[in-house]
Amino acid sequence: MKSRVYGVLGIVSRMSNWNADFTGYPKTTSSGEVFGSDKAFKYPMKKMWDEQGKKVLYIKSMRLQEGKKGEVELIPRSLKERYEHIFQGEDLKNTKDSKKVLENLFSAIDVKNFGATFAEEGNNISITGAVQIGQGFNKYSDTNADEQQILSPFRDPKKKKEDDDEAKSSTLGTKIVSDEAHYFYPFTINPQAYDGFKELEVTEGYTEEDYKNFKEASMVAATSFSTNAKIGCENEFALFVETDRDLYLPDLSQHVVFEKCDDKGNIIIKCKSLFKDLKERIKSIEIYYNPYTTIIKKDIENAKYFNIFTKEEV
């Protein structure tokens, strides 16, 4: 791949919880700003790739383990076990061929995009990913968290009889959601990140095909990932700016503003002057959005606008 790529990826969360902290509430900074971590964005992408049959290393998977007394437990695989499971090779502990391990790591689609920290005995490897995704801040000022009571169909057997009514009643749980939030994630793609590994002949580098895989998943993975907490989370915006390899742009998400306009969201991209000043070094600008719920002013020179669902130009 001969271009750098800069951009912004937008997620809408309606009556759902895109990224919760350990209390169950949407993640916030110390100043109270709602945000989503890069891990929250990467996970649905990895899940989608995994379901498509692609090799994904850094994703939770389970195995059954038989205990000393014959009991069988369901436990998560370790990194070593996950590696051996997807590459079906010999015991990693006995593997002395680091080149082969590197080749295997680069064949995993998540490692090829996001890099890896592979700290296993005899193979301590660090790969800085070509794709770097930042923290996604919510830019909708009227976001509120809503705590809902949920009635379980079962009683709590630990309640004592003397608790009377509580012992006979089914238990209560809670579900915490945001009424509406709009997260915008900055990202960069540096295809030169793997030049050192290309010299070792363990990878062909970051290719156009790798970028295509990332681009496609980044625009649909959140929409496809319909767990109970994520059912209202959807991809609603994506900005891709391809540039010369030696052009360095700032975090573009700080130039994106979200406002409500009647029943629709208004996404304002305040990069018009920046892109105009650098137009000789920018190869293409593509903007994908949900035209059914979102308004975008089409005032960026040479930009192409697409329906994020149909991928047709609008």
pLDDT of residue 80: 92
What pLDDT does 162 receive? Answer: 55
Please tell me the distance from the alpha carbon of residue 145 to that of residue 176, in angstroms, as a whole number.
7
3-state secondary structure the chain: CCCEEEEEEEEEEEEECCCECCCCCECECCCCCEEECHHHHHHHHHHHHHHCCCCCCCCCCEEEEECCCCCEEEEECCHHHHHHHHHCCCCHHHCCCHHHHHHHHHHCHHHHHHEEEEEECCEEEEEECCEEECCEEECCCCCCEEEEEEEEEEECCCCCHHHCHHHHCEEEEEEEEEEEEEEEEEEEECHHHHHHHHHCCCCCCCCHHHHHHHHHHHCCHHHHCCCCCCCCEEEEEEEEEEECCCCCCCCHHHHEEEEEECCEEEEEECCHHHHHHCCCCEEEEEEEECCCCEEECCCCCCEEEEECCCCCEC
- The sign one gets for the Cα dihedral 242, 247, 253, 258 is negative
Question: Which pLDDT does position 174 carry in this prediction?
Answer: 84
Per-residue pLDDT of the chain (314 residues; tens, 9 = 90+): 999 999 999 999 999 999 999 999 999 999 999 999 999 999 999 999 999 999 999 999 999 998 877 889 999 999 999 999 999 877 888 888 889 999 999 999 999 999 999 988 778 899 999 999 999 999 999 999 998 888 777 776 776 655 565 555 556 678 899 999 999 999 999 999 999 999 999 999 999 999 999 999 999 999 988 776 678 899 999 999 999 999 999 999 999 999 998 889 999 999 999 999 999 999 999 999 999 999 999 999 999 999 999 999 99
- 151 bridge partner residues: 172
pLDDT for 198 equals 95
Q: Any idea where the domains of the chain sit in the sequence?
A: 4-78+127-307
The per-residue pLDDT for 153 is 75
Q: Which of 246, 252, 254, 257 is nearest to 285 (CA)?
A: 252
- Locate 175 and state its tokens: 């579900």
Question: Is the Cβ–Cβ distance between 47 and 230 less than 8 Å?
Answer: no
Cβ partners under 8 Å of residue 94, min gap 6: none
Within 8 A by CB and 6+ apart from 180, the residues are 12, 13, 14, 15, 140, 142, 143
Distance CA 214, CA 228 (A): 25
Residue 231: predicted pLDDT: 83
Q: How many angstroms separate the CA atoms of 219 and 216, rounded? A: 6
AA letter at 300: I
Question: What pTM, to 2 d.p., does this model score?
Answer: 0.91
